Amino acid sequence: MSTDDVVTVRGLVKTFGAVRALDGLDLAVAPGEVHGFLGPNGAGKSTTLRVLLGLVRADAGSVRLLGGDPWHDATRLHGRLAYLPGDVSLWPGLTGGQCLDVLAAARGGLVESRRRELVERFDLDPTKRARDYSKGNRQKVALVAALAADAELLLLDEPTAGLDPLMERTFQDVVHERRADGVTVLLSSHLMAEVEALADRVSIIRHGRTVTTGSLADLRRHTRTTVHAVTSTEPTGLRAVTGVADLVIEPAGPHTDVRFSVDADHLDDAVGRLHAARLHTLTVQPPSLDTLFLRSYDSDAPGAPPDDGAHAGRVDDSIPEVDGRHRAGRGAR
Amino acid sequence: MTGLGPLLRIRWRTMRRSALVWVLALVGTMAATAVSVAELYDTPTKVQTYADAIATDALVAVNGRVEGLDTLGGIVQDEFGFLAAFLMPLLGVGLVTAATRREEESGRLEQLLAGRVDRRAPVLASLVVVVVTVVVTMVGFAVSLVAAGVPTEGSVLYSLSLGALALVFAALAALLAQVVLHARAVYGVALAVLAVAYVFRGVGDVRGWWVVWLSPLGWAERTAPFGEPRWWVLLVPLVVAVLLAGAAVVLAARRDLGSALWRGGAGPERASTLLQRPLGLAWALQRGSFVGWLVGSTVLAAVMGSLAQEVVDALTGNPALEVYISLGDDPADGFLAMVVLYLAILGIGYVVQALGILRQEETEGRLEPQLAGTVARTRWLGAHLGVVLAGLVVILGASSAVLGLTSASVTGVGSVWPVVGAGLAYVPAVIVVAGLAAALFGLLPRGYVAAWGVFGGVTFIAFLGAGLQMPQWLLDVSPTTHVGTPPQGDVSGVALAVLVVVAAALTAAGVVGFRRRDVPRG
């Protein structure tokens, strides 16, 4: 965690009455990165963003945003960021175009050329009254207002809620462009695929705490590749390869059916052994963050579904320790 | 009808609290009025004094032409007349709107109709709950009247006529909910109908015109419960209510969900520079309620002002009336003072409703993105408070000017400026309530509804304080008491200054609270 981070949150606590919405949350967003902020519903994502905006006051912990204190310097800092709330609500009597301008004006305006371009790309009719918009169209109005802003930091709370896949794609393209312009993005979401497509780094939170955080590459390295092969002879020495687990070798007619999972660093070694046994077919499933994501959520949820065989018993292994902020797996199953 | 049972349970569960509040408030007011009247007018002589004094066109315009004013029940009907004329229709409109078009707007109706529910069941269930509420209210009315010593037959007929009035407006709201797109529009049209009904009843009563019979308020009055009772008149509102409700149910079965007769077309593509400023947005959000209250208060002022000549005639020939309205230099002054106080009450209604929009912005999630911009909390709040204050000055100034103009033109004496001065003299009193509303928004946002309670209390004291001879300490609770009775009485500059200071202190508390609290606070 460097001092010039755009967002630095340490040990953040916020309670609403008896509910502890944030319980020692940590978060660091570096300049120029797209940071995925993942968590299930009710994990505290929106509350964290509200604290970052000075809308809600932290009970404990330290919060820095763009080098300032979000509560005391709220309006000064807000000129440098744009925010998309999780629950978009527009003024029913105004048109979409008017709402867009009003939302943008609240943060100090937008880039005209970008507004025109984004209205076009998101296929928005700005002359319609907001009350007549569908949920997706309301979302688009707020999205354009945020994305057309000339901001250093974008705080996006579940930005693609209600968008169709085509518009989701457009959204991803625009975020890539903004990132290329040097804009930092904090992207809150519960959709792994969206974060995987956009984020450089990811923080996963649950029950108001950070479960894990790290770059996508880090996380990928710590997820496992599943391998399914059919070989002519039984492969030897696989059990001895470091990193191989869940090994199942079964005869399948004249061939041998082999299944196992392996971490990224030892994939080459393992596949070498298969090769030596003369490969017939080979299916390699790339590491999916979904698995990691689900596991981070589930690990002490009561009544969680039993694991599929491939990953049984390796919950703790699958969660990487990055930046010494490993929190999951305590008392897991 | 499929699904009527479950719908009734849902409506009962969601409406019972507001229904209970209505029943308690209405029956409480009626009981208080009846008991006070019974205590004050405990001899036939005193009752006769009241009858002599009140049977003048001025009060007939306000409270209605009550038959049987020389009875205890007649006095209660007269004292309760103005409040009843607004509260009973509001009971019907408020409950029905919340249960019909608001449910449809929020999308909850869609979810219900996706179940095994007849399309007619939701509106029918809402009407049933309102009917039950009205029946309970009527029983409460009748019991409190009889307990205060009013004859049983008159009490029952009077209670029934008030209940029928509420049902007419409930059915009207149910029909409107099928044809307009938004709950606010249902309120708007229903209140406009009520205003027209009030004008027809007022003018008709004073001039003896048949237009009284076009007004639901006139139907309630013409049952004459304390004169020569006309039970058959009850049929008029009941038939009208059944027809309106029937039309609502039929329409509900035939129309598309979420549809309306009138929808707005395309609008401007860009926001004006003004709209992009906090002040401009505040104005855009407040405009609707401002225009509504402005129209309402100027219409009331015009109607009252045009009746000033009748008042002057009555006054010069009836010394007994001086008990209620004493003569000043201008014989119409006492009457004007009363109307100006009513205009101030409307001003209080305006500020409470207008500042309620702030809370609505917060709970509906539109405040958050604004404060996430460079707009400081104080600037946002200041813009709204400024718009509301300016709106109040315009409403009181314009309506009192209309009152002065119409009154001067029909009587040929007096001038406009003292009346405008009188209207504006109430601004400090009204902003005390505005300050209280701002303080609630800043410090206890969830308790904002208490501001409506304050409005109700002030209205109660203003309308019934003099007639019921309330103790001075109770009168002093209301800020309007401290203004005096302009243009008739003297206005104390010190009192106005104190009111301004109180208002400023309350507003400051609200601003400080708002700066410190979490947004949104649920």
Q: Minimal Cα distance from A71: which residue of B? A: B516
Q: Do B518 and A83 touch (CB under 8 A)?
A: no
Tell me which residue in A78, A128, A131 faces B373 most closely, judged by beta carbons: A78
Residue type, A261: S
From B156, B143, B158, B149, select the one nearest B39 (Cα to Cα): B149
A214 reaches B (C-beta below 8 A): no
Pick the residue from chain A with its C-alpha nearest to B516: A57
CB atoms within 10 A of CB B485: 23
Asked if A184 and A6 count as a contact pair (C-beta separation under 8 A), the reply is yes
Cβ contacts of A76 on chain B, cutoff 8 Å: 374
Tell which residue, B370, B379, B371, B481, has the closest CA to residue B426: B481
CB-based contact, A315 to chain B, within 8 Å: no
A108 has a chain B CB within 8 A of its CB: yes
- Where in the sequence of chain A do the CATH 3.40.50.300 domains occur? 7-80+152-219
Tokens of B395: 């409403």
Q: Is A155 helix (H, G, I), strand (E, B) or coil?
A: strand
Q: Which residues, at least 6 apart from B273, have a Cβ–Cβ distance to it below 8 Å?
A: B280
Which of B380, B185, B386, B364 lies closest to A102, judged by CA?
B380
Question: Could you say which of B182, B267, B368 has the minimum Cβ distance to residue A127?
Answer: B267
Residues B358, B362, B364, B367, Cα dihedral to 10°: 100
- Integer Cα distance of B108 and B102 in angstroms: 9
Of A78, A98, A132, the CB nearest to B270: A98
**Closest to B370 (Cβ–Cβ): which among A50, A95, A106?**
A106
Any idea which of A222-226, A258-262, B181-185 has the lowest mean pLDDT? A222-226
Q: Which CATH class is domain A7-80+152-219?
A: alpha beta
CA distance A326 to chain B (A): 31
Q: At A201, phi and psi to the nearest 5?
A: -130, 160
B69 to chain A nearest CA, in Å?
49
Largest separation between any pair of C-alpha atoms in chain B: 70
Q: Which of A34-43, A168-177, B429-438 has the lowest mean pLDDT?
A: A34-43
Instruction: Tell me the two tokens of residue B287.
Output: 């405009």
Question: Which chain B residues are within 8 Å of A142, Cβ to Cβ?
Answer: 369
Tell me the average pLDDT across A167-179: 95
Q: Pick the range with the lowest mean pLDDT from A70-74, A218-222, B113-117, B141-145.
A: A218-222
In the prediction, which pLDDT does B315 show?
Answer: 65
Rounded (5°) CA angle B31-B32-B33: 90
Q: Rounded to the nearest 5 degrees, what angle is found at the Cα of B431, between the Cα atoms of B306 and B328?
A: 40
User: Most B CBs within 10 Å: which of A102, A115, A152, A153, as the mutation test of the B interface?
Assistant: A102
Q: What is the pLDDT of residues A133-161, one digit of tens each?
A: 899 999 999 999 999 999 999 999 999 99
Chain B residues within 8 A of A55 when measuring between CB atoms: 368, 371-372, 518-520
Q: Which of A53, A93, A97 has the CB atom closest to B372's CB atom?
A: A53
The alpha-carbon radius of gyration of chain B (Å, integer) is 24
| Interface contact B366-A92, CB threshold 8 A | no
Give the separation between CA B136 and CA A285, rounded to whole angstroms: 70
Phi-psi region of B414 (alpha: psi -120 to 50; beta: other; left: phi over 0): left
- Give residue A320's pLDDT band: very low, low, confident or very high (50, 70, 90): very low
**Each residue's pLDDT expressed in tens, for chain B with a length of 522 residues:** 888 999 999 999 999 999 999 999 999 999 998 998 888 888 888 888 887 776 666 677 777 888 888 899 999 998 888 889 989 999 999 999 999 988 888 888 888 888 888 999 999 999 999 999 999 999 999 999 999 999 999 999 999 999 999 999 999 999 999 998 888 888 888 988 998 898 889 888 888 888 899 999 999 999 999 999 999 999 999 999 999 999 999 999 998 887 777 666 788 999 999 999 999 999 999 998 899 899 989 988 988 888 787 777 766 666 555 545 554 556 678 888 889 999 999 999 999 999 999 998 999 899 999 999 998 999 999 999 999 999 999 999 999 999 999 998 888 877 889 999 999 999 999 999 999 999 999 999 999 989 988 998 998 888 888 778 888 999 999 999 999 888 888 888 999 999 999 999 999 999 999 999 999 886
Between chains, do A105 and B366 touch, taking CB under 8 Å as contact? no
| pLDDT of the residue at B199 | 86
- Please tell me which of the candidates B182, B271, B366 has its beta carbon nearest to residue A101: B271
Q: Which phi and psi angles does A22 have, rounded to 5°?
A: -125, 135
Helix ranges (DSSP H) in B255-327: 278-306, 308-316
A68 beta partners:
A65
**Strand, coil or helix: what is B333?**
helix
Give the pLDDT of residue B335: 83
- Domain covering A224-285: architecture: 2-Layer Sandwich (3.30)
The answer to whether the CB atoms of A97 and B268 lie below 8 A apart is yes
Say if CB A109 and CB A75 are below 8 A apart: no
Q: Where in chain A is the domain with CATH 3.30.70.120?
A: 224-285
Query: A5: closest CA among A50, A44, A63, A59?
Result: A63
B365 vs A contacts (CB less than 8 Å): 85, 87-89
Residues of A in contact with B516 (CB under 8 A): 57
Amino acid at A332: A
* Dist. CA B379–CA B388, nearest whole Å: 14
| Phi-psi domain of B68 (left: phi exceeds 0; alpha: psi -120 through 50; beta: other) | left
Strands across the sheet containing A60-65 = A19-29, A7-16, A60-65
Contacting residues of B for A128, CB less than 8 Å apart: 266-267
Q: Where are the alpha helices (DSSP H) in B307-366?
A: 308-316, 333-363
Distance from CA of B188 to the nearest CA of A (A): 15
| Least CB–CB distance from A78: residue in B181, B285, B374 | B374
Among A13, A89, A138, A157, the strongest candidate for a mutation testing the B interface, having the largest count of B CBs within 10 A, is: A89
**What are the C-alpha distances in Å from B308 to residues B42, B57, B392?**
32, 9, 25
Tokens of B370: 């604004």
Find all residues with CB under 8 Å of B468, minimum gap 6, and list them: B32, B33, B36, B37, B40, B79
Coil vs helix vs strand at A204: strand
Q: How would you list the strands of the sheet with A209-215, edge to edge?
A: A81-84, A153-157, A184-189, A34-38, A201-206, A209-215
Smallest Cβ–Cβ distance between B264 and the set A50, A76, A129 belongs to A129
